[in-house]
Amino acid sequence: MDCQHGCLVCGRELIYTDVPQRRTCLFCGQTFISNVACPAGHYVCDRCHAADGVALALAVCREAPDRDPLAILQRMMDTPGVHMHGPEHHVMVGAALLCAYHNCGGRLELATALPEMARRGQQIPGGACGNWGCCGAAVSSGIFISIATGATPLKKSEWGLANLMTAASLQAIGEIGGPRCCKRDSFTAVKTAVAFTDAHLGIRMELPPRIVCHYSSENQQCLGASCPYNPGHHADAQK
């Protein structure tokens, strides 16, 4: 049984419907309106889906010494409880950026910033990329800027920067195209945020010379060599 990209109960590929339906989470028993479910009728809400992964991801961030947010992000992705796709990525992108930003001299209190990142990121529903046209990984990068700058709905420049960050990540993600891949979108949002933070906040985080994904075999909708992070893409570019 492989539950890394499918139903957490039986591993089958999830179905997305045009019309949302009322569904009951098998784990917490609460009822939600959702357009995604297992063909066998199983339903797991976003909070239950992401619960273990978020807790483990934040534990990684609290101890990470890295100045490279992608190194932090990939360690979080490799922890048990983090799935191929899922709303935990809406927390992990911003958390990795906050941690690297702090390690590079950015002024923030990480002990309070990370729980706040989790609180905000967990409000972004799974499937927002397709259903809202607003990928949660991109929003997570905007939350990072919001927390780092102390933005609120009443601030001026900070408010603008947080929205510009989300917009920049969304454009980069949208230009690659779908279908959704939480790894690809997260890599893209982090890469975009590193350049944005350097340009607007004067904090230079690090990135590897190239980003190579090692999750492609787990993704049934992988773009293959068309994805800029796929090993095959780099092989083609070197020919």
Average pLDDT per block of 10 residues along the chain, 239 residues long: 54 80 85 86 78 77 90 87 88 97 96 95 92 96 98 97 98 95 97 98 96 90 93 62
Query: What are the structural domain ranges in the chain?
Result: 1-44, 49-226
Tokens 């001299």 identify what position?
A: 105
With beta carbons less than 8 A apart as the criterion, state whether 38 and 12 touch: yes
Q: What is the 3-state secondary structure (H, E, C) of the chain?
A: CCCCCCCCCCCCCCEEEEEEEEEECCCCCCEEEEEEECCCCCCCCHHHHHHHHHHHHHHHHHHCCCCCHHHHHHHHHCCCCCCCCCCCHHHHHHHHHHHHHHHCCCCCCHHHHHHHHHHHHCCCCCCHHHHCCCCHHHHHHHHHHHHHHCCCCCCCHHHHHHHHHHHHHHHHHHHHCCCCCHHHHHHHHHHHHHHHHHHHHCCCCCCCCCCCCCCHHHCCCCCHHHCCCCHHHHHHHHC
Q: Say what the pLDDT of residue 1 is.
A: 28
Q: Say what the pLDDT of residue 238 is.
A: 47
Q: Say what the pLDDT of residue 4 is.
A: 46
With beta carbons less than 8 A apart as the criterion, state whether 88 and 53 touch: yes
Q: Say what the pLDDT of residue 235 is.
A: 54
Q: What is the pTM of this model?
A: 0.81
Q: Say what the pLDDT of residue 10 is.
A: 66
Tokens 């947080």 identify what position?
A: 162
